[in-house]
Each structure stands twice: as structure tokens, then as C-alpha cells.
Amino acid sequence: MTEKQTIAVLVALGNTKYPDLVTEHLDELAFLAETAGIKTGKRLIQNLEKPDGKFFIGKGKLEELKEYVRALGASHVIFDDDLSPSQLRNLEKELNPKELEAKVRIYDRSLLILDIFLQRAQTSQARTQVELARNQYLLPRLTRMWTHLERQRGGTGTRGGAGEREIETDRRIIRDQISLLKEKLKKIESQHVTKRKSRQNIVRVAIAGYTNAGKSTLMNLLSGSDILAENKLFATVDATVRKVNLGNIPFLLSDTVGFIRKLPHHLIESFKSTLDEVREADIILHVVDISHPYHENHIEVVSKTLAELNAGNIPVILVLNKVDVVRAQRPDFDEEASKGYYRQMGFEQVIFIAAAKKLNIQALKQMLFEEVKKKHTLLYPNYLATGYEFSFMDGGEQR
């Protein structure tokens, strides 16, 4: 059997009113695929208000899709929205007629994100959370495409088509795994609760934001840590907490998983304990990649996700990162006027920085210091007697 190269056809629903939006969604989907190690070859857009119940796309487009898959020798078809279990089954029959040797894998955005999380998760907590979310996603969607279960059972190679009985066995295996993972997660979480309780007497600051905004770069800069920061989506999946001092006030700073539009529901659900760092924070540094053409939409997605996590009322500093790129592209960019715009969006504290270039970090520290001080005073009313120190200049910094 000839191994197909990993190349994907991307599929999305278009909106004739906002044609640019689908391009942006597909760009992001391509970036996700690239992060997962899949090249993207062709894009198919279907202008429909809502997906077709049977195949997600219409019959005509389906024929076009088959043509693309054949011409490219594609290994994957990736849909930008979630496929229902029956859409998945129907598409699989159409795209994998028995006479074809190699299989075309059908993905949707959720499954792609789950796969990336699985590749990236380091700690046992994160791994367990992702495995749980992935199994919950797969349970209603088991079809003959899922040969990974065969491997786990020690089966061999391809099979012509799994009968209902085999799928039922697979379902049972997945259900058992789900209960085991839930148990395991409960144990891990109980240890974390104890750890977090010991943190009640210290101010907690969480870095949150859209994926690839520069959160880990900022975390490393403020805390002197060494977290992986790279131009990939979901470089960070685990949570990291560090003790940091600004002047003479200590606080805890955390970096965690980024958000993205259409984040799988199961994933948010099972990552709740990792995201406790955000939920329990006193202050959120909401980091934004200001050089991204759709950053306003990113801000909206992040604010919405924070609200879903019950973190919507925590004071936020809006940190507009990567301003170096904007300054280079638009020399006339008026930062002060622009700040006013974000204040109108409801963000009282707004600041431009470039974490990777160490631009304006001193001003950010000042701003953060003031916020931390407010919380610290509430925790330690007598601390004022010794006085707060503002001197944390690290010299030589550019604006």
C-alpha cells in the first residue's frame, strides 16, 4: 500500500456578507494543521447559511471535494466546524470507497485542536485532561476510521470495514477509559487543591489571551523563566506558576493555555482545573497580538471565554503586544488615540508593549505594580507601615 503524504483539503462555510472572515478562519485552520504537522493544499468554501445536515456541504461541493482529494492525493480533509457523528459517517463513506487503498482521514477543527493538545501536553494533569476530552469527543463518532483502537488491542493493519459489533467493543473500551481518566484526574486535582490553598495569602496574576499572542514570552520576561515560546499555536498547554517580585511586593504569576475561536467544549470542560489559575486570579494580563489583522475578534473570543470560566469580573490589564511590528508597518500609528479606542471597548487599563523586543516593559511593570499593590493592601493592611517601594528599574530599557 502506498503511504499518502500528509496533505489536507480544508473546508469551510462561507458567508457572502463577510467573505474575508472565512479566509481568516481558513488561515487559522491552516496554521492549526501546520502546527499538527499537516500541510494544506486546497481550500473549499461552500456558501451556505448553515451546514447541510447530511454531508455538511452540498452534493455538488461534495463531488468537487472528492475531485480535490483525488487530484492532491490528500490524506486529510479538515472541516472548520464540528461535524455531527452522522455527517462524519456519511462523509467517510463517500470519501473512502472500499476500492481506495489508503484512507482519507476526516477531521474537524475540534479534533485537530485535541490532537495538537495531545502532542503538546507535558504534565500528567494536562495529558489526562486532553485524553479525557478526546475520548469524550470520539465516543459518539467511532467509525472504521479509528484504527488506533485496533492498535491498542494488538490488531493488525487495515480491515475492510468494522462491523457494528467491533464498533460496540470500541465504544466499551472508550467508556472504560473515560471512567479511568476521570478517576485519575480527581486524584491529581485533589493534590492541586491543597497546593492552591497555600496560595491564598498572596496576590495572584494570570496571563491570558489568544493563542500565539506572546503570553509565554511575557511570562519569561517578567519571571525569568524558560517556557517554550514559538510561532506555533498552543505552544503552551500546561500551566506554569512562578513567584515574582515587583519592588518589594511578591506575587504569583501564571502562564497557561491560550484560547482560540471554536475551542472544543469538552476541552474547556476538562481543562477547568488548569484554568483555575485564571479563574482564581486577582488580576488578569490579557495579552493581545496587536499586529494580527483580526485581533479585535481575538479580544472578543478571549473576553467571552473568560466570562464562560466565571473569570469575567476580574480586573484586566489589556496588554497590546507586538507593537514593534505595527510601528514598522505603520509609522503614523497613533498609540494614544488607539488606547482611547480600547478604553471605549471597556478596558480601563491599556498598554502597548513588545515582549520579544523588551519595549515598554518598564511602564507595564509600573502599571502592574499599582494593581498588585491594591490587592496586596487588602490582604495586608499593615504592610503600608513598612511602605511600598517602586524602584524596580532595570535600566537601559527602550520605550
Choosing among Mg ion, ligand GTP, none, which partner's interface includes residue 322 (Cβ < 5 to 8 Å by kind)? ligand GTP
Given the rule CB under 6 A, which of 59-67, 93-101, 226-234, 303-311 is the region that contacts ligand GTP? 226-234
Angle at 82 between CA 129 and CA 189, to 5 degrees: 10
213 binds ligand GTP (CB under 6 A): yes
Q: Directed axis angle between helix 85-95 and helix 59-72, to 10°? A: 50
Asked if 223 interacts with ligand GTP (CB under 6 A), we say no
Residues 6 or more apart whose Cβ sits within 8 Å of residue 265: none
State the minimum distance, in angstroms, from the CB of residue 107 to Mg ion.
Answer: 23
235 counts as binding ligand GTP under rule CB under 6 A: yes
Dihedral sign for Cα atoms in the order 80, 84, 86, 92: positive
Q: Name which of 213, 358, 399 is nearest 291 in CA terms.
A: 213
Give the total of residues touching ligand GTP (CB under 6 A).
24
Q: How many Å separate Cα 367 from the centre of its chain? A: 27
Is position 2 an interface residue for ligand GTP (rule: CB under 6 A)?
no
CB 318 within 8 A of CB 349: yes
Of all residues in this chain, which one has the CB nearest to ligand GTP in the complex?
Answer: 258
The answer to whether 355 contacts ligand GTP (rule: CB under 6 A) is yes
Shortest reach from residue 360's CB to Mg ion, in Å:
20
The entry of Mg ion, ligand GTP, none near residue 54 (CB within 5 to 8 angstroms by kind) is none
Q: 320-349: which residues touch ligand GTP (CB under 6 A)? A: 321-322, 324-325
Contact 39, 6 (CB under 8 A): yes
Q: And the C-alpha cell for 130?
A: 486532553
- Residues, the chain, total? 399
Q: Which does 230 bind (CB under 5 to 8 A by kind): Mg ion, ligand GTP, none?
A: ligand GTP
Among 7, 202, 356, 363, which residue interacts with ligand GTP (rule: CB under 6 A)? Answer: 356
Which of ligand GTP, Mg ion, none has residue 324 at its interface (CB below 5 to 8 Å by kind)?
A: ligand GTP
What is the nearest approach in angstroms of Mg ion to the Cβ of residue 215?
A: 5
Q: Indicate the residue among 145 and 253 with the shorter CB distance to Mg ion.
A: 253
Residue 321 binding result from ligand GTP, Mg ion, none, given CB thresholds of 5 to 8 Å by partner type: ligand GTP
Longest C-alpha distance within the chain, in Å? 81
Is the CB of residue 116 less than 8 Å from the CB of residue 130? no
With beta carbons less than 8 A apart as the criterion, state whether 51 and 81 touch.
Answer: yes
In order of 184, 296, 307, 344, 345, the CA distances from 341 in angstroms are 46, 11, 22, 5, 7
Interface segment toward ligand GTP; rule CB under 6 A; list 69-77, 106-114, 233-241, 307-315? 233-241
C-alpha cell at 147: 484504527
The footprint of ligand GTP on residues 267-326 (CB under 6 A) is: 321-322, 324-325
The letter for the amino acid at 213 is A
- Contact residues for Mg ion, defined by CB under 5 A: 215-216, 235-236
Burial class (CB in 10 A: 0-12, 13-18, 19+), 331: exposed
Region 180-209 residues binding ligand GTP, contact defined as CB under 6 A: 209
Partner from Mg ion, ligand GTP, none contacting 43, C-beta within 5 to 8 A by type: none
Residues that bind ligand GTP (CB under 6 A): 209, 211-217, 229-231, 233-236, 258, 321-322, 324-325, 354-357
